[in-house]
Amino acid sequence: MITVLVILIVGSALILGALWGLYGRLPARAEGFVIALAGGALLVSLVSEMIDPAIGSAGVPMALVGLGLGAAVFSGIDYLIDEKWGERSGGGLLAAVTLDGIPENLALGVALISAAPIEIAALVGSIYVSNLPESAGGAREMRASGYSKRTVLAVWSATAVLLSLAALAGRYLLAGLGEQWLAFISCFAAGAVVASLATEVFPKAYREGQHLAGVATALGVMLAILLGKMGGS
C-alpha cells in the first residue's frame, strides 16, 4: 500500500506541475525560491538516505565508482539533449525531467525496499517539490512552441506513468539483488541526480530567484536535516 501511495504522490507532481504551467504562474522569485528549497532538501536526502547506507553496505570504493558513473552518464546525455533541442526548449526540458526523473524514481523504489517511512517521506517530499516547477516550466515552453494544451498535458501524464514504472522497477525488480549491487545502483542513481541538481535545478533556481536561491537552498538543507533527526529519534 505504501508503495502505491508513494508512486501516486510523486507521479502527480508532474501532472499538477503541467497544469500549473498551462493555467497559472508564480512570480519568478517565488518559483526560484521553491526550486532551490527542493534542491537543498533533495541533496541532503540523497546523502543521508542513499549514499551513506550504500557506503555501509558496499564500502567507499564501490560507492564512489557508482556516484562517478551516474554523474558522468547523466552529464553526457544531458549535453546531447542540449545540443539537439536546446537547453531552454520545451522538448529539452521534457527530456531533462525524464532523464533525471528515471534515476530519482529508481532510487526511490530501491529506498522503498528497506528504508523507514520517515526517510521515504523526506525523499518523496524533495522529489515532489523539485518536479513541480520543472514540469511547469516544460509545459509552459511547449505551449509557447505551439503545442495544444491537451497535447502538453497528455505528454506530461505519459511522463508521469513512465517515471512511476521506474519506481516500481526499483521496488520489485531489484529487490532480489544482493546488498552490494543495490548499493551500487543507489549510488549510480544518486550521482545522476547530483549532476542534475548542478546542471538543471540550481542554475534555474538562481536564474529565477537570484540571491534568494542561496537562502532557500540552506532552508531546504535544514528542513531535510530536521526530518532526518525526527526519523532517527
Whether 104 shows a pLDDT value over 80: the answer reads no
Backbone φ and ψ for 86, nearest 5 degrees, come out as: 95, 135
Q: Please write the tens of the pLDDT for every residue from 135-156.
A: 887 788 778 878 888 988 988 8
Cα–Cα distance, 128 to 42 (Å, whole number): 10
Q: What's the whole-model pTM score?
A: 0.75
Q: What is the pLDDT of residue 41?
A: 83
Q: What percent of the chain has pLDDT over 90?
A: 7
Q: Please write the tens of the pLDDT for every residue from 185-230.
A: 888 888 888 888 888 788 888 888 888 899 999 998 888 787 767 6
Cell numbers given for 141 = 515552453
Q: Please write the tens of the pLDDT for every residue from 12-32.
A: 888 998 898 888 777 778 888
Q: Please write the tens of the pLDDT for every residue from 165-192.
A: 888 887 887 777 777 888 888 888 888 8
* Mean pLDDT score of the chain: 80
- What's the burial of 4, exposed, middle or buried (CB within 10 Å: 0-12/13-18/19+)? exposed
Rounded to the nearest 10°, the torsion over CA 186, 173, 101, 232 is -50
Q: What is the DSSP letter of 177?
A: S
End-to-end CA distance of the chain: 25
Count how many residues are written for the chain.
233
Cα–Cα distance, 7 to 197 (Å, whole number): 21
Backbone φ and ψ for 224, nearest 5 degrees, come out as: -65, -40
Tell me which range, 22-36, 52-66, 75-89, 215-229, is most confidently predicted by mean pLDDT: 52-66
Which one, of 148, 103, 62, lies nearest residue 111 by Cα? 103
Non-local CB neighbours of 63 within 8 Å, separated by 6+ positions: 51, 54, 55, 183, 184, 187
Q: Which band of pLDDT confidence, cut at 50, 70 and 90, is reported for residue 90?
A: low
